A and B are shown apart, each in its own frame.
Chain A
Amino acid sequence: MLRYALKRLLSLTLSLAVASVVIFAVIEVAPGDPASFMLGVNAQADTLAALRAELGLDVSKVERYFNWVGGMLVGDFGTSYTYRTPVSQMIADRLWVSLPLALYALTLSTLIAFPAGIYAAARRGKPGDVAVMGATQLGIAVPNFWFAMMLVLVFAINLRWFNAGGFAGWEDGVWTGLHSLTLPAIALALPQAAILARVMRSALLDILAEDFMRTARAKGLSRRQALWRHGVRNALIPVLTIIGLQFSFLLAGSIIIEQVFYLPGLGRLVFQAISARDLIVVESVVMLLVFAVIMVNFLVDLAYAAVDPRLRSRT
């Protein structure tokens, strides 16, 4: 198991190194010089040169790459071209919104999807299954911002249980923070839960057809006992894969929801940085997202091995 983890860790590090080169190269080839963009077309040549020096743009590309990577390793992501503040601070602020939101949404989606998927699989073809599958079909088809608007309409405007937007911050306690993230988390979670429930159902149906489920029944387990003791854990592998993918998506893909709810999250930061050609911010956020995705995949790999003993011995 340890060797399996170390091997995964090694491949994780390699992926990160490759990703950093690719991200740097891609963003560097994008046309437009940040310094001239910032100073406008009428800038003086010497002002431009001074700004380029200040931003660290006057050295060779290789040197800039290593400056960038080396900085990131010690937590220095450089200085934003537009806001003139440290990128690490900007990202950290946004991360305190986006990360809890993503985790919140993922937890909700899992809490909805597992029971729904298991329930549907256990009642395959019966009205309960049809109802759950119909609901998931709807959940996948309807875009999450529509859910968001409906939630605002019902729970913020009519019932006044929640604020219609904005983030209260964590200073007044965890509860206040979570409260202001609840509606966006639900809006994000619903479509994800629909996908996850369908995956859970089909994975479980595959398992229910396996020979060992029949063996379990022959031992005297009831249908329900067999499903829970032998079915669910075996069905987890495909489900874990999807959960990993969903987390990566939720972390940065929630830009529309962030807009609807006026949340200062990562998605909005990237959006603003791209429009302002603030390359250093874009680079850093993208690198951070790559790191998150690779990290999540690593955790999913470890979870696979925890679930399935066959993966532990295979190296």
Chain B
Amino acid sequence: MNLLQIKNLSLAIHDTPILKRINLSVAAGQIVAVTGESGSGKSMIALAVMQLLPNGAEVDGELRLDGQNLLNRPEAEMCALRGAAIGMVFQEPMTALNPVKTIGDQVMETILIHKAMPPAKARVRAEEVLARVGLPTDRYPMTRYPHELSGGQRQRVVIAMAIALRPRLLIADEPTTALDVTTQAQILDLLKGLVSEYGMGLLMITHDLAVVADMADEIVVMRHGEVVETGVTDHLLRHMQHAYTRMLFEASGHQVNLPVPPEPRPLLEVDNVVRDYRLPRKRLFDAPGHHRAVNQVSFTLNRGERLGLVGESGCGKSTLTRAILGLEEVQNGRISLDGQPVFTGHKPNLAVRRKMQVVFQDPYGSFNPRHRVARLITEPFHLLDTSPTGSERQDRVAEMLTAVGLSPDDASRFIHEFSGGQRQRIAIARALIIRPELILFDEAVSALDVSVRAQILDLLAELCSIYDLTYLFISHDLSVVRTITDRVLVMQDGQIVEQGETEQVFSRPQHPYTRTLIDAAPSLPEIGQGAA
């Protein structure tokens, strides 16, 4: 008998159908991955199993744990099951822990709330599980607060809370999406180890197909609230039946063809740049400490070249980006665009700034919701001495919208009328409209679904051949950087540890850190072999 058996599960929230007749099962010791793009309803399966659905949810079908139906159970009984028989790990480790309680208290709470053992024993058990997830109490005392831990460590605490009572079923909803690749690899290893050690069933929800292929015994592919395909991992990867599954896997390994870059002619020169942040004084009359976020970084970006910048969070990527944009003054070294410094004296050089534009990660937060698209994408015009007016302005807007694959009529619409992918197209149009010499893409495709991401990457490649773009592409996603750049910089602890031709760096990494990064990144297997 299966541990978790879901039969014909349908879910509607306020009469909007979310899940349609879902069937899936998880056996003890088995890892089942549910995958699909955002809005496919995959997280709702997790919440339905936990019976933690939002208000207005109507569920129909069968949802059995160890043969017992979970649907329509009294709330008190569900409380007894949650945490004890079913553990759950969430996506966002930074906010999943209560900031005002110690990690020890939070892990012990799982044990105490179920009255599983007396407090003294619960403390010992909490120490054991924290040690098991890699936070031994001699180095990470239980009196620590969440803000004193890194994201990966917090996720370990969340996992410790979920497994403290050895639940038979563990649900992990995008457990590594917010983490760096090396941390992701460690957390995935930990989860795999726990499954085999405790014989738990693991229901894992993730949009990352490389993680899925790496981890799962069985894969469930979802789209628009329906299961489109399901099967044992190896078999499914080799014999994909459904066009959507095929499209998903192709899109996540999507390759683009960039035009050949022109002869090297330096555009952006970064020379020996140092950026220090002042730390608060330790004592009243001590000299303040410094944190060196960017340490003696030098590189050149040639005109028409596409340069990648990779590294884990906290490595200084964002600080370097801000320095290049002239948003922050550097303590040492020189950054110049086309021979002109981005900072003159203590003031940013506006003549240089107007030659650069940036596209950010979040397609939802980077637009003023009260402005129409025409106004949004003409924003950079204020940087120009004479900004185009009247019909010329309208022509430019229409041209840009067409260039990014939208219609000129979209100019009069508001931003909330667009999807995430369309918004990112608008962000690109906004960056392109003054024909900048250099564009910075700061995690510009990281928040997008794989199929949308593939389209945006295609768009970038196309724009490269039309407008001869020069860009710096900052991302933590190695597979994207590999296809969309000519050269790449690898950054660690504020320093560039390796740079070179993208393909060369990826296939023959020289620096140990580069190797660690590439090894840690889960890779997609060659898909569709034998499908014919």
Contacts and interface: CB of A to CB of B under 8 A. Distances in A.
A15 interface: no
Nearest to A237: B100
Contact of A220 (B97, B100, B110, B158): B110
Contacts of B161: 215, 219
A205 B81 CA distance: 26
B377 to A, nearest CB: 33
Contacts of A138: none
Contact of B96 (A212, A221, A233): A212
A199 B425 CA distance: 41
Contacts of B98: 212, 215-216, 230, 234
A307 B100 CA distance: 7
A315 B278 CA distance: 13
Given A211-B90, A225-B113, A315-B280, A218 B50 contact: yes
B92 A211 contact: yes
A206 to B, nearest CB: 12
A218 B83 contact: yes
Contacts of B162: 218-219
Given A234-B100, A315-B280, A218 B95 contact: no
A5 to B, nearest CB: 14
- Prevailing SS type, chain A contact patch: helix
A233 B101 CA distance: 10
B81 A220 contact: yes
A307 B161 CA distance: 23
Nearest to A221: B113
Interface in B106-122: 109-110, 113-114
Contacts of A222: 75-76, 79
Contacts of B80: 220
Give the bracket for the number of chain B residues in contact with chain A: 20 to 34
Contacts of A84: none
A234 B92 CA distance: 18
A219 B148 CA distance: 22
A211 B96 contact: yes
A217 interface: yes
Nearest to A212: B98
A31 interface: no
A33 interface: no
Interface string A275-315: 00000000000000000000000000000000111100111
B109 A219 contact: yes
A122 B76 CA distance: 17
Interface in A30-81: none
Nearest to B144: A309
A308 B100 contact: yes
Contacts of A225: 113
A138 B281 CA distance: 49
A214 interface: yes
- Of residues B92, B100, B147, which shows the largest number of chain A Cβ atoms within 10 Å of its Cβ? B100
Contact of B99 (A214, A308, A314): A308
A313 to B, nearest CB: 8
B52 A310 contact: no
- Of residues A212, A313, A315, which shows the largest number of chain B Cβ atoms within 10 Å of its Cβ? A212
Interface in B255-298: 280-281
A310 B99 contact: yes
Given A211-B96, A212-B97, A220 B90 contact: no
A72 B191 CA distance: 67
Contacts of B244: none
A229 B101 CA distance: 10
Contact of B158 (A215, A217, A309): A215
B95 A211 contact: yes
A310 B145 CA distance: 8
B84 interface: yes
Contacts of B79: 220-222
Nearest to B47: A214
A142 B50 CA distance: 46
Contacts of B148: 313
Contacts of A234: 98-100
A218 B52 CA distance: 8
A226 B83 CA distance: 13
Interface string A225-247: 10001100110000000000000
A216 B80 CA distance: 13
Contacts of A219: 82-83, 109-110, 113, 161-162
8 contacts: A215-B88, A219-B82, A220-B79, A220-B80, A220-B81, A220-B83, A222-B75, A310-B145
Given A211-B92, A219-B82, A220-B110, 7 more contacts: A215-B90, A216-B109, A220-B79, A221-B79, A222-B76, A222-B79, A309-B147
Interface of B: 50, 52, 75-76, 79-84, 87-88, 90, 92, 95-101, 109-110, 113-114, 145, 147-148, 158, 161-162, 280-281
Query: Ordered nearest first, which 4 A-B pairs have the shortest CB separation?
Result: A220-B83, A219-B83, A211-B95, A218-B88
